[in-house]
Amino acid sequence: MELNEPLVKQAMAAGLQQYPEFEAFGPRLVYAELMEGGAFLVRYAERPPQGTPNLWDFQNAVVKTYKALAGEPGADGACGD
C-alpha cells in the first residue's frame, strides 16, 4: 500500500502536537505488508529509550489520525485490514 504523503505529514504533525517529545527521534509512518493484510507503524531514525512514556499513545495518535484522514477502516481503533 502506498501512503498519501500529504496526509502522512498531517497525521504526524497532529501526533507531534500532542507528544512533541518524539520529534527528536525522527518518527515516520510506514505501512508494513504482512502475510494477510498489513499494519501501519511508526518507525524512528533514532530508537527512543526503552520505557519511554507515551510511546504507544503517540503511535496510536498518528495511525488513527492517518486512517481517519485517508478514510481507512479502523480509524476508530477497530481492526480493519
The mean of the pLDDT values for the chain is 91
Output phi, psi for 41, to 5 deg. Answer: -140, 155
pLDDT tens digit string along 47-68? 999 999 999 999 999 999 999 9
Prediction pTM value: 0.86
Nearest Cα residue to 49 out of 22, 13, 28, 19: 22
- Grid coordinates representing 75? 480509524
- The β-bridge partners of 72 are none
Q: Is-contact 80 72, C-beta < 8 A?
A: yes
Q: Where are the domains of the chain?
A: 5-70
Residue 73 CA to residue 70 CA, distance in Å, equals 9
Please count the helices (runs of H) and the strands (runs of E) in the chain: 2, 2
